[in-house]
Chain A
Amino acid sequence: MSVQLRKIIDIGPGGVIYPGSAQDLRYADNRTYFADTRTPWIRLWADWPSLQPHPGYAPDDPSSPGYWKLQALDEQVRLANASGIKVMLMPYRFPTWVNGTATLSAQKNTDAEISFQYADRMTKAAWERYLRNGRNPSVYTPSRRALEYLLPADPYEPASAWARFFDFLFRRYHYGQRASKRFVDGFELVNEPNLQLWPQQAAPPAGAADPFSQTARTIERAIAQLLKTAQGISAKYAHSTMLYAPSISDSDTATSRLYTRYDQFVPALLDAFATVGYLPHSKQAWSHHNYTDVEKRQTATRTQLIRGQLAGRWAGYSTGQAPTVFVTEGGARLTRMPELYPGEDPREAQAKCLRDAWALHQADTGAGAGVAMFAQYLIYADPNFDCGLIDPYPSTVKRPAYAAWKAFPSYSAAFPAPPLRR
């Protein structure tokens, strides 16, 4: 894209899930790192199970057991505002009281929980290994989708619990009430719905021989409804704040009951817009995650493949070259470098991934065409998803990737305000 390739750091969900941790903007010198790297945008996570752990309390009820986490989020948003950092806030996950799994959640890692809708939560190989080990979680615990990613029966309808939660977030933080000095510049509506959320597909017919066999996909319609419901909430506040979605994973893994590949998800989502009667307004931007492009140093990117799928079909926000895509998560995992680049020092290889990707994306042509934002997931590395700029806390050792990120120019200009098209 070019002249206004905005750089954003996703600080991770820990600042709300566990305030005071190294993913909290207020601590661990995080604000200093934002200033030092001239990063004008931050992505914060409004973790719903943390903010509203009990259905009997609104998130802003001082009696709520989650109220202190809302206070922590408030303070981080205020700090970002005071520091001139633009905030993108994302509602994340479902409390188990919303999706009907509270009882199972109280017995995590038991056979009852592991076996619950297993075909939509784990691979067939993992399930069969679990069976071979006598369904004994202490012998083998299969990797699986968490209960908090289960879509409720009516996940995103206007009367849904999600709609009430998003309305709460919008009312509390929208840009139209920035005089409060506690506001965001954008809401991202969902995180990687083609990977994290489940089920992706309709339930197999009763008595199906193979519960892992694929059926009709349902995830795209749910996300289309999400966009429509969010648009309705945004309208209540005169569309004061930019919305971003669908924030999809770009993994090359084949479509299964667990994952819908991006190049199948996008056209199906666009088709589903008509089904639910949704037409994007001019403050709805398209967002995307580009780990694969960055990590594999791709020049023919998945981002551009998706832009090709959007061309002529996506009428949301655009700036410069349409269709415009905002990359809101990305990065290169240090743990993947030895395998991908065996001849390179892993730490330097990670930095090279970032530098190469930035160079491509700041151009007006090729991989950069129509790309308006470039993202880095995490300041401090997470050993379990190791793509940070600094070694895992409490280290303060900056990786070469830090210097690479710092060297990228900062464009903090406001978005061109298009005439509002509702």
Chain B
Amino acid sequence: MTPDRSVAFLTLAECPPWLRARRGDAGAHVLDRREFIRAGLLLAAAAGAGFPRLGAPAVAATAAAPALSPGRQASFQALLGALREAPGGRFRHRDAAAGTRAFADWYAAQPPAMRLHADTVVDAVGELIGTRGTAARRYATLRDRPGGASPSPAEAHRRAVLMAAVALAEGPDAGGTERAPTEALA
């Protein structure tokens, strides 16, 4: 089967060291077209159902799709716990354990490219904040932004990945018609 490079992700060599830590792969992920189409069908099954919980179609999707690994579940739960410390209470109502279960449901229904995105971002956040210590301390780690308006490329990369993580934590608006800004770290 001809590899479809269009859904390759960052190669290990392209990742900065702190992003590589939990990848566990030796290079780019390559998906064949059958996998890709199957993922599209799974996505179709889940269309319209968003965070925080997927509806019935997700059950079928979960059966066919890889599950979010326990390590990533722990990282995501730590992220949600940290975000509960964000000013304004944007995430304070979110139960970290329930939110993680919802994220795992969403994850299982995603096409491979989106799962890889989630893997990369959740792994990176896990490296950054760990799962120990207080939530307030973890949030402070997320909120820190050396470099101010003009960060170094490495710091900008860190911020961009954190923003991607917050977007995953926020999940799509149920209405799905608006572009809502990602703000929890702003």
Contact = CB atoms under 8 A, between A and B. Distances in A.
A394 B161 contact: yes
Main secondary structure of the interface of A (DSSP, over half): loop
A383 B167 CA distance: 7
Given A109-B89, A384-B167, A68 B149 contact: yes
A387 to B, nearest CB: 9
Interface string B18-31: 01000000000000
Nearest to B90: A108
A337 B165 CA distance: 24
B6 interface: yes
Contacts of B90: 108-109
A69 B149 contact: yes
Nearest to A24: B156
A394 B164 contact: yes
A195 B156 contact: no
Nearest to B7: A397
B168 A143 contact: no
Nearest to B92: A109
Contacts of A321: none
B120 A394 contact: yes
A338 B164 contact: no
A116 interface: no
Given A14-B163, A71-B149, A338-B41, A397 B113 contact: yes
B6 A400 contact: yes
Contact of B179 (A50, A346, A385): A385
A19 B149 contact: yes
B47 A339 contact: yes
Given A21-B160, A71-B150, A338-B40, A397 B181 contact: no
Interface in B115-157: 116-117, 120-121, 124, 145, 147-151, 153, 155-157
Interface stretch (B61-69, B72-80, B169-177): B169-177
A68 B148 contact: yes
A346 to B, nearest CB: 5
Given A339-B44, A384-B167, A394-B161, A18 B6 contact: no
Contact of B178 (A14, A196, A339, A345): A196
Interface string A231-269: 000000000000000000101010000000000000000
Interface in B26-70: 33, 36-37, 40-41, 43-44, 47-48, 52
Contacts of B149: 19, 68-69, 71-72, 75
B88 A105 contact: yes
A346 B40 contact: yes
A155 interface: no
B101 interface: no
Given A137-B93, A335-B47, A345-B37, A384 B163 contact: no
Interface string A346-357: 110000000000
A27 B163 contact: no
A107 interface: yes
Contact of B181 (A17, A19, A138, A399): A17
Contact of A397 (B6, B36, B48, B156): B6
A26 to B, nearest CB: 8
Contact of A335 (B43, B157, B178): B43
A196 B157 CA distance: 30
Given A138-B94, A382-B179, A396-B14, A20 B155 contact: yes
A392 B177 CA distance: 19
A114 to B, nearest CB: 9
A208 B8 CA distance: 57
B185 A143 contact: no
Contacts of B160: 20-22, 27-28, 393-394
Given A345-B36, A385-B179, A106 B89 contact: yes
Contact of A394 (B19, B44, B182): B19
B181 A338 contact: no
Given A108-B88, A108-B89, A18 B161 contact: no
B181 A384 contact: no
Given A108-B89, A109-B89, A395-B10, A384 B171 contact: yes
A336 B47 contact: yes
A345 B40 contact: yes
A22 B90 CA distance: 22
Interface string B94-116: 11001000000000000101101
* Residue from B19, B88, B94 with most neighbouring chain A CB atoms (10 Å): B88
Given A107-B89, A394-B19, A28 B156 contact: yes
Contact of A21 (B6, B44, B159): B159
A13 interface: yes
A110 interface: yes
Interface string A375-404: 001000011110000011111111110000
A122 to B, nearest CB: 9
A141 interface: yes
Contacts of B19: 394
Which 3 pairs across A and B sit closest by C-beta, in order of nearness?
Answer: A338-B44, A20-B156, A71-B149
11 contacts: A17-B186, A19-B159, A22-B164, A26-B156, A28-B156, A137-B93, A138-B98, A338-B43, A385-B180, A391-B113, A394-B121
Given A20-B156, A28-B156, 12 more contacts: A18-B183, A19-B150, A21-B156, A72-B150, A108-B90, A109-B92, A141-B52, A143-B173, A394-B10, A396-B14, A397-B7, A397-B8
